Amino acid sequence: MNALSKLIAVEAKLFLREPVSLFFIFALPLGLMLVFGLPQRGASEGGAGQHAELTFLPSLALGLTIGMLALFTLPMALGIYRERRVLRRLATTPVNPALLLVAQVVVNLVMGVAGAVVTAIGVRFLLDQPAPANVPGFVLAFLLGVACLFSIGLLIAALAPSARAAQSIGPTLFFPLLFLAGAWLPRDQMPAVLARIGDYSPLGATVDTIAAAWAGDSPAWPQLLALAITAVLGSVLAIRFFRWE
Amino acid sequence: MPVIEVEHLQKRYGDKIAVDDVSFTVDQGEIFGVLGPNGAGKTTTVECVQGLRRADGGTVRVLGLDPVRNRTEVRHRVGAQLQESQLPDKLRVREALDLYRSFYRNQADIDELLDDLGLTAQRDVAFQKLSGGQKQRLSVALALVGRPEIAILDELTTGLDPQGRRDTWELVERIRDRGVTVVLVTHFMEEAERLCDRLAIIDAGRVVAIDTPSGLLARVSTEHRVYFRPLDPVEDSLLAGLPDVTGVRRNGDEITVTGPEQVLQTVLSTLSEQKIRYTALRVVQPTLDDAFVSLTGRGVRAATSPSTDERSS
């Protein structure tokens, strides 16, 4: 087996040995769906706006999964690897330490997809809601959302002075992003400027495009474009500023 | 045949000069020590040898190669153990070895390596559950898993208890017996004295001396000291008049006689000829600590300031 596939296999094992991250990915989104989704179903009949859309909650749950992986797990793991000089140790071997970053991204990505599938199945059968209708659009929106949020996570990992700092920067960024996505106050009730920012914010655009595809519509191109641009920008900056020690 | 050649190496971090002028060669099959107080530039020097840092001046050749330009080739052939390097908490011993082995084209037998390093019983133990000594041995195993021609071991025994330290020394000798050239970075005089065939003493970014441990001792010609408590009366002049004796001192009822190596012989035969009984005999030989003091003008501990960290920049 070559070095990269071995690294991925080992990182996957290590990931699965952390019950906390498993809970975040597989249990929390579905739990939130059940807690908030069931009462809402009874109450929101005939309502209007962002929160009344049937696909808003499942899309938000997927956004949560991606967001937690990208902003909590990924920067934390990379921060620890830098602090413990694992990256430095790898640099003394013939293998490029960047491969460890690739392995981390791949493992978190696979876990994100697995979490999304579990959430989608849960939504379908536990909440009795339809499965995603526009599958290509759904996959595209999901992947762009992942790329965008992961690039922000990598940027945090690049800039955070310590693993502890990464651990606090992630949530500090995550909750405003959740707010902008309309998790608490629906975006149609926000001031126009704030709502517009929310539309193109990483999590807002992710949730909207996934929700649209889920309902069978085409995701909005400007929002997909915003995700792609953020992804490229974040990745370039992360690579530019990444510190190996 | 030299496997490492360092000539007039210089490295700065901003305004701070970490390595000012360091030259040495390491021959194949020897244990070469790089000795000096913390902050002397030892780690920076070996990092340049490993190609982890680019030298600001001078040349470095490892196995005839430039470690920065031919980095992949050099890394296949040079194993490294880093100071304070750790592994993920939940990674198990065997998994770590299996992973690191996959990076190299020459792959050591893992079971054999585990056995050699006394880690067979810990093969399925997670890194966080290992003792300090076990972690250190795993770190050495990772440095050897690619069957290197040269192993660079940085502050191998720091933080180990005396037993763990002695075990690790035996381990280093076994590595050398396999034909691996060992570069040992340390600030323990005792360790250097016990293990190294030759060593370079580095202080404030410069090489102060390069020699065998006994050569360094001979160079500083520090005197041996013989201590004893006479049980019968003895005149100072009796001892002071002996050949080889350079000094006699009394401290309470203890007498100290100083002189070159053979002074012990002289004192003991005189005491037995004169039928003077004695007790509490001990001899203090010069150590590398004394050599270091005489070469640098200060002790290792005095030279080690707690705030100095040679890696910070």
Could you report the per-residue pLDDT of A162-181, keeping only the tens digit for each?
Answer: 888 888 898 899 989 988 88
Which residues is B248 bridged to in the sheet?
A: B257
Cα separation, A180 vs A223, whole angstroms: 14
Nearest Cα residue in chain A from B103:
A3
Cα separation, A122 vs B259, whole angstroms: 88
Could you report the per-residue pLDDT of B113-123, keeping only the tens digit for each?
Answer: 998 888 999 99
Could you report the predicted ipTM of this complex, rounded to two decimals?
0.82
CB contact under 8 A, B72 and A94: yes
With residue A114 as reference, give the H or E element that holds it: helix A98-126
Q: How high is the pLDDT of residue B306? A: 39
Q: From chain B, pick out residues whose CB is under 8 angstroms from the CB of A80.
A: 88
CB contact under 8 A, A89 and B85: yes
CB contact under 8 A, A1 and B85: no
The answer to whether A2 contacts chain B (CB < 8 Å) is: yes
CB neighbour burial string for B152-162, b if at least 16 within 10 angstroms, e if fewer:
bbbbbbbebee
- Judge whether residue A41 has pLDDT over 80: no
Look at the block and give the residue holding tokens 């107080």: B37
Q: How high is the pLDDT of residue B99? A: 95
- Judge whether residue A231 has pLDDT over 90: yes
pLDDT band for B221, please (50, 70, 90 cuts). Answer: low
The answer to whether B131 contacts chain A (CB < 8 Å) is: no
What share of chain B in percent tops pLDDT 70? 94
CB contact under 8 A, A84 and B146: no
Indicate the length of chain B as a whole number: 313
Query: Is pTM beyond 0.90 here?
Result: no
Angle (CA) B197 B202 B204, round 5°: 175
Contact between A186 and A51 (Cβ < 8 Å): yes
With residue B266 as reference, give the H or E element that holds it: helix B263-273
Cα separation, A119 vs A138, whole angstroms: 14
The answer to whether B75 contacts chain A (CB < 8 Å) is: yes
Q: What HEC string does A38-51 produce?
A: HHHHHHCCCCCCHH
Average pLDDT over residues A200-225: 91
More confident of the two residues B25 and B188: B25
CB contact under 8 A, A86 and B75: no
C-alpha atoms less than 13 angstroms from C-alpha of A37 in its C-beta half-sphere: 23
- Judge whether residue B307 has pLDDT over 70: no
For the CA atoms of B203, B204, B207, B211, what is the dihedral angle to 10 degrees?
A: 0
Q: From chain B, pick out residues whose CB is under 8 angstroms from the CB of A89.
A: 80, 82, 85, 142
N-terminal to C-terminal alpha carbon distance within chain B:
35
Look at the block and give the residue holding tokens 């093969």: B123
Q: From chain A, pick out residues whose CB is under 8 angstroms from the CB of B103.
A: 3, 93-95
Average pLDDT across chain A, whole number = 85
Q: How high is the pLDDT of residue A150? A: 93
Q: From chain B, pick out residues whose CB is under 8 angstroms from the CB of A91.
A: 52
Strand, helix or coil for residue B274: coil
Look at the block and give the residue holding tokens 């198990």: B92
Q: How many CB atoms lie within 10 A of CB B308?
A: 12
Q: What HEC string does B121-162 produce?
A: HHCCCEHHHCCHHHHHHHHHHHHHCCCCCEEEEECCCCCCCH
Nearest to B152 by CA among B289, B60, B252, B287: B60
> Which residue of A81, A92, A104 to mutate against B (max B Cβ within 10 Å)?
A92
Give the minimum alpha-carbon distance from A93 to chain B in angstroms, rounded to a whole number. Answer: 5
Residue B30 in tokens: 């020897």
CB contact under 8 A, B86 and A93: no
Helices (H), B159-243: 162-177, 189-195, 213-220, 236-240
Q: From chain A, pick out residues whose CB is under 8 angstroms from the CB of B105.
A: 94
